[in-house]
A and B are shown apart, each in its own frame.
Chain A
Amino acid sequence: MALGKEDIAKRIAKEVKDGYFVNLGIGIPTLVANYVRDDISVEFQSENGVLGMGPFPFEGEEDADVINAGKQTITTLPGASFFDSATSFGMIRGQHVDLTILGAMEVAENGDIANWKIPGKMVKGMGGAMDLVASAENIIVAMMHVNKAGESKLLKRCSLPLTGVGCVKKVVTELAVMEIVPEGFKLLERAPGVTVEDIKNATEGNLIIEGEIPEMVIE
């Protein structure tokens, strides 16, 4: 069984370690915050200028001046701070943020990522993604393994305009967890009930399979 979006978020949440400052992108990455263990200390940064982001506000307590990078109303937790955009990207560029989790349209076996533009069709812009992927030391991508037509999004080379080069460290999809190594996508775990063969068929880029591949544990 391929994972749903919530399960992808649950699996990625296990990568969030005690003491981490984490930047979450829009979409599945935002859901990760809901599944981080509550016995560890983690602070979420949003690049529009907040550190120590909390859950959505209770109805009636929304504040137009307190939002995240997805323009959603949020709250802050004790120890939070607000800052301007240059300071925010200073944290990112200066590698003070430990982990970046973002979505992608395509990832290549060399760690390239494309997620901001489909020429002639969709141009929404890169927002903070180019700054994040160029500077973060640890980048995990949450994405779907194949597109709606069933074509692989894990490629030998990206076909869309790049967001960053050689930067992705790990990819979590509805089918698998993979680490990017010099030779390509190294398969670490498969989704419950998904076979190595299924993952191979869904991956255009070089998939490295070594030994027994364990099933993901999703609680």
Chain B
Amino acid sequence: MINKKVQNVEEALQGVANGMTIMLGGFGLCGIPENSIAELVRKGTKGLTCISNNAGVDDFGLGLLLQKRQIDKMISSYVGENAEFERQMLSGELEVELTPQGTLAEKCRAAQAGIPAFFTPAGYGTEIAEGKEAREFNGKMHIMEEAYKADFAIVKAWKGDEAGNLIFKGTAKNFNAVMAGAATITVAEVEELVPAGTLDPNHIHVPGIFVKRIFQGEHYEKRIEQRTVRKR
């Protein structure tokens, strides 16, 4: 067994430097690497390019990094929940690259799988297609999209073991499972870190080979963005 365990979040994020490109898992606030985001705020790393489906809310998730102006560029599919984000974007302080969600996921998966580029119909005929190669397959137009290149991928899982194997819960699998292994260094934070051999190999969602460093997060708030319930 190759041990991927590190002692804490400081050790996990060693080497993160100004100007780097970082992928962060999660959809909305679901499955975001809370402990690593808090550490990035504490470290004060600046000039970051962040690849993440959303940008958090004003006072949680990536919104915390936006508040401190640590992000120069965001690559996302939907940013509607964050007023500070919208302000920085409309004023030009923050560069934003909006990408269709399925394309964003596939650009991560392609990076994980060593595929440099792929064709997708998403965005053909829209401003997303500007400057991209277009080609017809099976009578339908597609545009070429390239795999992302990132220095760090930071993902969050429910359970993990010392070998770096990951298991997710519910819809928190989202971008976490496709970003693991899609960057030079992948850091996984988990709610529960167990010794190798504890998790059933049949139940592993992300094999440990995609994870370089793993640690157990100290605290998870797991904030709910839209609490919707029904009457009993």
Interface residues, chain A, with chain B CB atoms under 8 Å away: 46-50, 55-74, 82-86, 88-89, 92-93, 112, 116, 120, 123-131, 134-135, 161-166
Contacts and interface: CB of A to CB of B under 8 A. Distances in A.
B127 A161 contact: yes
B223 A64 contact: yes
B140 to A, nearest CB: 9
27 contacts: A47-B102, A57-B229, A59-B232, A60-B229, A61-B229, A64-B30, A65-B158, A65-B172, A67-B226, A83-B173, A84-B175, A85-B53, A123-B89, A126-B100, A126-B128, A128-B102, A130-B122, A130-B126, A134-B120, A134-B123, A135-B121, A135-B122, A161-B126, A162-B125, A162-B127, A164-B126, A166-B125
A165 B105 contact: no
B102 A72 contact: no
Contact of A131 (B29, B103, B232): B103
B56 to A, nearest CB: 11
Q: Interface size class for chain B? A: 35 or more
Interface stretch (B12-20, B38-46, B78-86, B195-203): B78-86
B67 interface: no
Given A66-B171, A84-B174, A85-B175, A130 B228 contact: no
Interface in B51-98: 53, 76-81, 86, 89-90, 96, 98
A124 B79 contact: yes
Q: Indicate the member of B121, B122, B168 with the most A CB atoms within 10 Å.
A: B122
Interface in B101-144: 101-106, 108-109, 120-128
B171 A67 contact: yes
B105 A72 contact: no
A22 to B, nearest CB: 17
B225 interface: yes
B178 A125 contact: no
Contacts of A93: 102, 120-122
A82 B30 CA distance: 13
A89 B171 contact: no
B173 A130 contact: no
B98 A162 contact: no
